[in-house]
A = this chain, B = another copy of it.
Amino acid sequence: MSQLKIAVVGLGRMGKRHVHTLLYRVPRAQIVAVCSVTPHEVEWATANEEYKEFNIAVYSDYQEMLNHPGLQAVWVSTSTDVHASQALAGIEKGIHVLCEKPLSTDLEEAQSVIDAAKKHPELKVMAGFSRRFDESYRDASRKIADKAIGEPFLVRSNTCDLLDDTGFFVRYASRNGGIFVDCAIHDIDLSLWYLGNPIPKTCWAVGTLQHHPELKQFNDVDNAVGVVEYWGGKIAYFHCSRTMLHGHDTATEVTGTQGKISVNLIPRQNNVVLADKLGMRHEVQPEYWQRFEHAFALEANEFVESVLKDKPVPLPLETGMMVMKIGRALQDALLSGQVIRFNEAGERLN
């Protein structure tokens, strides 16, 4: 059996999880290397027993890692600002790339990755949108395709993260492009998926700072509401938050002419309910990792399969471009207070 030799760059919380996923969930992949430019992460990885057990080489230089003998693919899991350059470097080396969303907060830079990928049709290049691989979201998609709700015309979606009081989030926030680019991007993608790739017409947004006043310096907020009107009478609206107390609360509703589908309206950690003096309660998944762990495994398996069997990647790289365009427009609306408008070709007018 031939396994795909793959590496993970970035060993933050998600990078470590991706290593875990590759080890435990993707039998056709062999993780051969990891890389981080953060000294304490390199140190941590070097000392890690499991990494030793599975012969995972640890690099502190990305270019060096790309030269790892036999390396075929890389999973880019760094901060958003280096996604594009690392993806491009991989492509140049003839390495398949699975890149965390978004390719870039800069639309031109993102386009440069797409252009590079087009020049290398022999390489599989994909941007990860984990919800596209989630069992529930896929079930919703199937039901919508089966006309269970008639014609879908309205999406409500929220991505609300657990409050992080450690300061980690705020440090990270300086490089993520703002709440609509970093957080609502999944919700925007879902609206495009479920509404049949409509073209944006107008959008508007408002926000507020409730827990992280430091975000003001990055032109960002910790709670925001945005609305997108699409051409053809379709609408999506979003709530993003960094300040939940009960856990990661991500819900989506799709309304159609004959019904409504909801996904995860009541988030749950597991099947346990405790009844006591306080009433009846259940816990909630703390992070999107717990919510989407199995989706990440499926994503990795499907990506690896697309490489090994030379099939199209499960999600075209271009998918993310319109998402980013809308995310940026919402972020601009948030900052300017202005309605952002697009023409029927989806070109932004202001």
Residues of A at under 8 Å CB distance from B?
A: 1, 23-25, 27, 53-55, 135-136, 139-140, 143, 148-149, 151, 153-154, 156, 202, 204, 206-211, 223, 225, 227, 229, 233-235, 237, 239, 241, 243-247, 249, 255, 257-267, 269-284, 337-339
Contact = CB atoms under 8 A, between A and B. Distances in A.
Contacts of A263: 271-273
Given A156-B239, A241-B255, A234 B208 contact: yes
Copies of this chain in the oligomer: 4
Given A262-B273, A274-B259, A247 B210 contact: no
A275 B262 contact: yes
Contact of A276 (B27, B54, B246, B273): B246
A235 B210 CA distance: 12
Nearest to A206: B229
Q: Which of A143, A149, A206 has the most CB of B within 10 A?
A: A206
- Closest 4 CB pairs between A and B? A281-B281, A259-B276, A246-B275, A208-B233
Given A136-B271, A278-B283, 5 more contacts: A148-B276, A227-B227, A244-B275, A261-B272, A262-B272
Nearest to A294: B294
21 contacts: A1-B53, A143-B272, A202-B206, A202-B337, A204-B339, A206-B235, A208-B234, A223-B235, A225-B235, A243-B257, A246-B260, A259-B276, A259-B277, A262-B272, A265-B265, A266-B280, A267-B280, A269-B279, A275-B284, A279-B284, A339-B339
A209 B260 CA distance: 16
A247 B279 contact: yes
A276 B149 contact: yes
Contact of A338 (B247, B278, B339): B339
A280 B282 contact: yes
A48 to B, nearest CB: 14
Contact of A279 (B227, B261, B276, B282): B282
A276 B245 contact: yes
B280 A246 contact: yes
A271 B264 contact: yes
Contact of A259 (B211, B246, B257): B246
A153 B337 contact: no
A128 B135 CA distance: 27
A144 to B, nearest CB: 10
